[in-house]
Copies of this chain bind each other. A is one copy, B any other.
Amino acid sequence: MLPVLEPFVSFLTDFGLADPSVAACKGVILRINCEARLVDISHAIARHSVAHGAAVLWAALPYLPAGVHLAVVDPGVGTERRAIALRTGRGDHLVGPDNGLLIPAAERLGGIVAAHLLENRAYRLATVSRTFHARDIFAPAAAHLSRGVALDAFGPGLDLDTLVRLDTPVPEPVPGRLDASVVFVDTWGNVQLLAEPADLEAAIGRVSSGDELRVEAADGSPLDGVDGIDLRWRLTYGEAEPGEPLICLDSYGRLALAVNLQSAAEKYGLGPERRLRIRRR
């Protein structure tokens, strides 16, 4: 593991950039820790989509230096949902709402080793609004963590079993088929599944480039007008003809359904939380 040489603070939200929101949060951080080095992950998460935010964090954080990671997709702001910070085995701190957003990423960073409530008023802004906890609670917490304030100074420790988790269905390999859920559609329209090559192998054995597969909706419903998609396993998008569908291992280690040079998500009407079934033809 890399030592934390610099106080990196990464930042992800669904706020967009036409608002003052992101800048206000950055300002809060820099006023508390003028040495903080901010790294934007994304502020273009789909509005209120905790699953989208969690998928982007999951993909990006293993490539970032250990540090503080502030993530806010928070449809429950102002309600009873808890404000938390997690420490990982790698030495990161993740700060945000207790709604599942932080968990998948934290589990890839050496696992969650501690979780604390953000309750201590000394580490909040003096006035906390009802509608903007990113600025008033989460950003100050991230900034103080980046200065070295200890996690347990923020509030009581939490039983890790009580943390809210996303309910994206896990992959289900059975002999002859794999059921797996869409977890993320990237900018290119490639459809990432919550499943790894080992899941596919458990279901239908080892696949090689060119193997003929079929994808259907797990519930038997049509995929934007077609009963199912006949396609092949490929090593990369470009192995397929332009416009040809394929399944491959994507660059984050998961299975992806794609159409070479087109958007698979648009072509087949696929979005987050759709569940697909993969088998051989």
Query: In chain B, what residue has the closest Cβ to A5?
Result: B34
Question: How far does the alpha carbon of A30 sit from the alpha carbon of B4 in the complex, in Å?
Answer: 11
- Asked if A168 is an interface residue, CB under 8 A from chain B, the answer is no
| Contact A187/B236 with A31-B64, A129-B251 known, Cβ cut-off 8 Å | no
Binding site for B on A (CB under 8 A): 2, 5-6, 8, 10, 15-28, 30-31, 34, 38-48, 55-57, 59-61, 63-65, 75-79, 129-132, 135-136, 186-188, 235-238, 248, 250-252, 261
8 Å CB contact of A8 from B2, B8, B30: B30
Question: How far does the alpha carbon of A19 sit from the alpha carbon of B39 in the complex, in Å?
Answer: 14
| Contact A59/B24 with A19-B186, A65-B31 known, Cβ cut-off 8 Å | yes
Residues of B within 8 Å of A48, CB to CB, are 261
Query: Is A60's CB under 8 angstroms from B23's CB?
Result: yes
Residues of B within 8 Å of A30, CB to CB, are 6, 8, 39, 64-65
Number of copies of this protein chain within its complex: 3
8 Å CB contact of A20 from B2, B42, B78, B131: B42
Residues of B within 8 Å of A63, CB to CB, are 23-25, 27-28, 31, 135
8 Å CB contact of A187 from B19, B25, B39: B19
Query: Is B238's CB under 8 angstroms from A18's CB?
Result: no
8 Å CB contact of A2 from B6, B10, B31, B38: B31
Query: Is A23's CB under 8 angstroms from B5's CB?
Result: no
Query: Is B6's CB under 8 angstroms from A34's CB?
Result: yes
Report, nearest first, the 10 A-B pairs whose CB atoms are least far apart. A132-B251, A27-B64, A20-B59, A27-B63, A130-B236, A20-B60, A129-B251, A18-B44, A78-B236, A23-B60
